[in-house]
Structure 1
Amino acid sequence: MEYERYSSNRDVISLFSGAMGLDIGLTQAGLTVKVGQDFEKSCVETMRANGHNVVPGNIQEIEPQQLLDMAELSVGEPFLICGGPPCQPFSTAGKRLGINDPRGSLFMDFIRMISYIRPRFFVMENVKGIMSAPLKHTPIADRDKDNMEYENQLGTVLDVVLSEFNKLGYKTVYGVLDAVNYGVPQFRERFVLIGSRDHEDIYLPMPSHFQMHQNKDLRWNTLYDAIGDLENDYGECTSFSEERMQYLKMIPQGGNWRNLPEEAIKAAMGGAYESGGGKVGFYRRLDYKQPAPTLVTSPVQKASMLCHPTQNRPLSVKEYARIQQFPDDWIFKGTTVAKYRQIGNAVPVGLARALGQTLLSVANNDAIIKTKRVRGTDVHNRIKNAIEMGYNYGDK
């Protein structure tokens, strides 16, 4: 094999690194993150404050060799390139493909890095909507006949993503994973795509935690498990407006706008009162006994409030970090708003650790206990089905 001499390497190059939730989990699994990259100043400061090498700036202006030089690695040597390239595409020059084609986004710079560096594996994570998003075309007035014929063959966003990796010769597996199934005290579904340069037997990480289990350590972790000890030491925190707070004080633990007195609902909801949808995030007070809902980039947004279960305030920065499983001594730089955004955008550490463990098991060729036969009894089938169901287990 072309890169056989690098088979023992376990080094990682991280792109779009943010606050480094993905990197921390990979490190806990046994990998070594050699260098990170991000455009946002506060993220770069966070990485440096925690002792990590960073190539700062717009990835479109960064050459792959810069990353290799910083990591002191050669082409084909890195074990892994990982990251979550923003896939909010835009119209491109030439063939103007419209606003929803990843060929017009930073995704192509992720591809460019992999094409040059040739890591053994890559991991790309993104919003789950990438699984079903159709490609959107340019307005009719901007099309010509050639463009129309070309665009009609495009398919979906995922089709394009997979096609680009196929061109690089990488074998891929993908799916939507929920972080709660990997010990994270939070429902958080993310699209994950794993690629193998050498066409090894890659797979998505199997769930390690379940809604129901006889062993407490293997059940879903709850919000109380994560932040129950911080009630009197919650640290830096933003605040709700006085108007919103007057309504939140009426909400019981685990409730939302539906728990307001009937006469207060219309005034509290404003323009959203007449809108459709479940609106579950409006005036939402969290429940200690459940995993947290997905953390967003701010806990005080009207449609996605994250009010503390027992105190009249939003979740704090420290509580955000606990829910995403950052170490307590992890340093976040920037304004309070920037800290919430960094943490809210991060990959939960437990999910990242499972991804790292999965890749190591593939590299070590020890993921499967090989037997002479697989028992086919109803008992074994139920266990197998329970594991497979773990990706979507429970009512979220």
Structure 2
Amino acid sequence: MSTQISIQDAANMLGVSTQRVRELCRDNKIDAKKVGNSWVLSQESVERYGLKTAHTVACDHSSKQRPPLPGKPVALSFFSGAMGLDLGIEKAGFQIRLACEFDKYCRQTIALNRPDTALLGDILEYSADDVLETAGLCRDDDIDVIIGGPPCQAFSTAGKRQGFNDARGNVFLKYIDVALDIRPKFIVIENVRGLLSCPMEHRPHNRRGEGFPGLHKDELKGGALNFVLSLLESAGYGVSFNLYNSANFGTPQIRERVILICSRDGDAPPFLEPTHAEHGAHGLPPWKTFQSCVAGIREHHHLNFPEKRLKYYRLLEPGQNWKALPDELQREAMGKSYFSGGGKTGFLRRLGWDKPSPTLVTHPAMPATDLAHPVEDRPLSIEEYKRIQQFPDAWELAGPLVQQYKQIGNAVPIGLGFAVGRLLRKMLSGDNIVSIPDFSYSRYRNTSHNEWKTQFEARIQSHAHGLQGSFELV
């Protein structure tokens, strides 16, 4: 039974006025009952409201009082976000003993949904011993897996591509340091496609070419990943990686991410096992569609498009974008962007019912990355975001709506996380792992570790300035 507290106690906990707490009680935002002329409130309900609205802070806490679950392999999670990768790993049978996350709203979300999971903040502030102690573990414990998706903006194909010279790149190296200090059986690293081609050091273009020395390997495209591989392999880990489209693993979304699987035994692990394929290739079920995942949602919370965009959306059918507008309206609708390069397929984009969703973004109503409902004149709702990323409907998200979109938009699809966890469980138990020759894991070629290493070595030898044919669209 929850502890009962007063209006004043609740006001002190939330940092709001007593009048505001009374309003929350009357609006049933907090579990409370009237006793005479006074309100009596559920402390647990007040705490949950505080976490969800970020009125209270999700503090670091340990799992010392929660013993490891027998028979369940142990996972430690870093850069946990809204816990998409964690939920997939958990679904495969692992116990998540610790989450480490810096973002305020993600921390609140973790505390709301997994209050018994140990929680830490900025990875830069902790040593491997701090991590183990907080997780209720010690050096003698043989940890099964450490998982994490270090911030990917530094390696994104958009922006300055500063790699490890970006402050966010530094936490990537800290993650590697902590993981290698703990030495689990497996290390998992998830990141964006840009990691495959991002240099570790960037040389300005006006200091290249004739009269300047050739690029050294850290300055070549792919230099950042090469450095990461050298750290892992020098520590005795065998590493495999590929660029995986999450639609091939049962997610109703075309979302491509690089996943490195690192094994302490020194052997390169197999690739993930696909469960679906485009058009049902290889005898697998076809990709899941947007329509298949959003049925039955009763209530939608969403942002809104401005009226100047809505007038164009009313002319578009499911699966269409600005290119389907009458010729005389295309330039008007696009403005200056009409003259920019690229396909511009994210402008005025309605999703199709019969295809997977495009990659979810952190804001579904930005002009260049619109994600509009197939027939309704609105962006996708947060409930649809959760379904596309395969989060449970009951998964609570903290913070205002824009922060909720950001959390789910940045998450790893749970189906992709489950594929990682299932592979690891099979490797731990020695079960057979299915390999499908010539399977197209993504839209791009030459993205697996063997192909990538061959091309990077050729780049070193030739001091090439570009990727020369790598990562072509299939």
Residue 14 of structure 1 aligns to a residue whose secondary structure is strand
Task: For structure 1, list consecutive stretches of 5 or more residues without a partner in the other structure.
Answer: 1-7, 91-97, 143-147, 370-382
1:310: how far off? Answer: 1.4
**Counterpart among 372, 375, 385 of residue 320 in structure 1:** 385
Corresponding letter in the other structure for 2:430: N
Amino acid at match of 2:130: Q
Of 32, 38, 41 in structure 1, the residue corresponding to residue 104 of structure 2 is 41
Asked whether 1:169 is paired with 2:169, we answer: no
Aligned in 2, Cα 1:300/1:127: closer, same or farther, shift over 3 Å?
A: same
Query: Identity of counterpart residues, as a percentage?
Result: 38
1:185-229 CA distance string (max 9 Å, x none): 000000000101122562121211022339998221100011133
Which of 364, 380, 400 is 1:299 aligned to?
Answer: 364
How many residue pairs were aligned? Answer: 362
Task: Determine helix, strand or coil for the equivalent of 2:163.
Answer: coil
RMSD: 2.9
1:258-312 per-residue CA deviation (whole Å, 9 max, x = no partner) reads: 1112222112111101011110010000011100000010100111100001111
Q: Return 210-219 or 234-243, whichever deviates more.
A: 210-219
TM norm structure 2: 0.71
Q: How far apart in 2 are the matches of 1:153 and 1:213?
A: 41
1:352 maps onto 2:417 in alignment: yes
Alignment partners' CA distance in 1, 2:205 and 2:422: 48
Q: Deviations over 1:45-72 (max 9, x none)?
A: 0000002424332211122222211222
Pair member with larger Rg? 2
1:159 matches 2:223: no
TM-score, reference length from structure 1 = 0.84
Indicate the SS of the match to 1:352.
Answer: helix
Partner of 1:279: 344
1:47-126 matches, within 5 Å, as 47-52=110-115, 53-75=117-139, 77-88=142-153, 99-101=162-164, 105-126=170-191
What's 1:265 paired with? Answer: 330
CA apart distance, 1:176: 0.2
For residues 219 and 89 of structure 1, what CA distance do their matches in structure 2 show?
A: 34
Greater RCO structure (CA 8 Å; 6+ sep) = 1
Name the counterpart of 1:187: 254
Report the CA distance shift for 1:357/1:239 in structure 2 as closer, same or farther (over 3 A): same
Tell me which amino acid in the other structure corresponds to 1:322. Answer: R
- How far apart are the structure 2 equivalents of 1:87 and 1:151? 24
- 1:254 aligned counterpart, secondary structure: coil
Deviation, structure 1 residue 105: 2.1
State the partner residue of 1:379: none
Partner AA of 1:36 in structure 2: A
Code of the residue aligned with 1:165 in structure 2: it is L
Assess if the C-alpha contact under 8 Å between 2:88 and 2:417 holds in 1. yes
Q: 1:206 to 1:102 in 2, by over 3 A?
A: farther
Asked whether the 8 Å contact 2:300–2:381 carries over to 1, the reply is yes
Which residue in the other structure is 2:467 paired with?
Answer: none
Aligned residue for 2:375? 310
Deviation at 1:132, TM superposition (A): 1.8
Q: Flag the 1:114–1:334 CA change in 2: closer, same or farther, 3 A.
A: same
Contact kept, 8 Å, 1:300 with 1:306, in 2: the verdict is yes
Whole-angstrom CA distance in 2 between matches of 1:45 and 1:356: 25
Q: Distance in 2 between matches of 1:213 and 1:335?
A: 39
Aligned to 1:23: 86
Deviates more, 1:304-313 or 1:212-221: 212-221
Once residues 355 and 394 of structure 2 are traced to their aligned partners in structure 1, the CA distance between those partners, rounded to angstroms, is 25
Cα gap change, 1:54 to 1:341, in 2 (>3 Å) = farther
* Contact residue 47 and residue 54 of structure 1 kept, 8 A: no
The answer (yes or no) to whether the contact 1:298–1:337 under 8 Å persists in 2 is yes
Q: Which residue of structure 1 lines up, in the alignment, with residue 56 of structure 2?
A: none
